[in-house]
Amino acid sequence: MNNNPKFIVFEGIDGAGKTTQINLLREALEKRGFSCFVTAEPTDMPSGKAIRRALAKEVESTPIQMAEMFACDRELHNTDAESGIERMLADGITVICDRYYYSSLAYQGTVLGFDTVAALNLDNPNIRKPDICIFLDLTPEKSLRRIGDRGGKVEIYENLDYLTRTRKTFFEVFDKLRDRGENISVINADGSVDDVAALIFDAVSAIL
Ligand code: TYD
């Protein structure tokens, strides 16, 4: 077991290859002696399941309620006694998380404003700051092509506009978070799987 565990977050717009790259990073770290725990938000806990019901519009919700629900799920994700992020790190296990508060700041922040979402997340002492955030970046055009190649249905104009706005908001959020000392690495995800994995590993190596 490596006794210097890290908390690594992946973010990216749809089609950027988060799942593939998270698994490759896990393999690369395990080869180097790190025990790894891969996790995601929304979580599989009741707090995360409630979010999925709201995302699927099975229950009504408001933007501020969603932001609070994501922050609540995130706090419980940190503090869960058995498999929470804090517990894993305390046990020497590196945590790799698919989405975190960057998503809240980008998606909920677009509607509610950065400061409201920041107050719920960055000012909460039970919500840990990651050691690094890896943002897998792809132009919206390439992202749509990949989603289409996967067999998904794409409504071109609507989605192009949405992805463009989302990507722009992520970059605005990153500028603000860098001012607060966060380590955010934007990785060009428009290469071969192996080339992108190598770029990610270089960025992560800098904090190991
Ligand atoms: P999911 O099915 O996990 O999507 P993906 O595979 O793209 O991660 O659904 C998560 C959705 O929730 C995704 O559309 C982004 C959104 N989300 C937020 O709006 N705020 C958040 O804080 C998080 C973690 C996710």
**pLDDT, tens digit, 9 for 90 and up, residues 22-62:** 999 999 999 999 999 999 999 999 999 999 999 999 999 99
Mean pLDDT within 100-107? 97
pLDDT > 90: percent of the chain: 86
pLDDT at 64 over 70: yes
Asked whether residue 100 carries a pLDDT value surpassing 90, the answer given is: yes
For 123-174, how does the pLDDT look when each residue is reduced to its tens digit (9 = 90+)? Answer: 999 999 999 999 999 999 998 888 888 876 666 556 888 889 999 999 999 9
Average pLDDT over residues 87-107: 98
Task: Report CA 155 to chain centroid distance, whole Å.
Answer: 24
- pLDDT digits over 16-33, tens only? 899 999 999 999 999 999
DSSP SS3 for 1: coil
What local confidence, expressed as pLDDT, does residue 146 receive? 86
Where do we find the tokens 């891969």?
38
**Token pair recorded at residue 145:** 């092509």
CA quadruple 111, 116, 118, 124: dihedral sign: negative
Ligand 1 center–CA 103 separation, angstroms: 7
Q: Return the DSSP state at 59.
A: S
Residue 198 sits in a domain whose CATH number is 3.40.50.300
| Residue 103 CB–ligand 1 contact under 6 Å | yes
Q: State yes or no: pLDDT of 114 exceeds 70.
A: yes
From the CA of 104, give the closest atom in ligand 1: 22
Q: What residue ranges in the chain does DSSP mark as E strands? A: 7-12, 36-40, 94-98, 132-137, 184-188
**For residue 4, how far is its CA from the centre of ligand 1 (angstroms)?**
29
Q: pLDDT at residue 195 above 60?
A: yes
User: The domain containing residue 57 runs over which residues?
Assistant: 7-205
pLDDT reading at 2 higher than 70 = no
Say if 1 falls within a structural domain: no
Report the pLDDT averaged over residues 183-206: 97
Nearest alpha carbon, ligand 1 atom 6: 14
- What's the CA gap between 46 and 165, in Å, rounded? 31
User: For residue 141, which amino acid is it?
Assistant: E
* Closest ligand 1 atom to Cα of 100: 24
Cα 157 from Cα 160, distance rounded (Å): 5
Nearest-atom number in ligand 1 for the CA of 42 is 24
Q: Is the CB of 99 under 6 A from ligand 1?
A: yes
Domain presence at residue 2: no
Residue 194 within any structural domain of the chain: yes
What is the reported pLDDT for 194? 97
Is ligand 1 within 6 A of the CB of residue 10?
Answer: no
Nearest-angstrom CA–CA distance, 49 and 25: 27
How much distance in Å is there from the Cα of 40 to the middle of ligand 1? Answer: 9
**Residue 94 near residue 35 (C-beta atoms within 8 A):** yes
pLDDT of residue 14: 77
**DSSP strand pairing (132-137 vs 7-12):** parallel
Please report whether residue 177 resides in a domain.
yes
What are the backbone dihedrals phi and psi of residue 31, each rounded to the nearest 5 degrees, phi first?
-60, -30
pLDDT score recorded for residue 15: 80
**Atom 23 of ligand 1 has which residue's CA nearest to it?**
103
Ligand 1 pocket check for 104: Cβ under 6 Å: yes
Ligand 1 center to 3 CA (angstroms): 31
Residue 92 clears pLDDT 70, i.e. is over it: yes
Domain contains 136: yes
- What strands, in cross-sheet order, belong to the sheet with 132-137? 36-40, 94-98, 7-12, 132-137, 184-188
pTM, whole model, 2 decimals?
Answer: 0.95
84 within some domain:
yes
State the total domains in the chain: 1
Q: Which of 20, 41, 96, 99 to mutate to test the pocket of ligand 1 (most atoms within 8 A of CB)?
A: 99
In this structure, are residues 106 and 18 in contact, taking their beta carbons and an 8 Å threshold?
no
For residue 144, the model assigns a pLDDT of 87
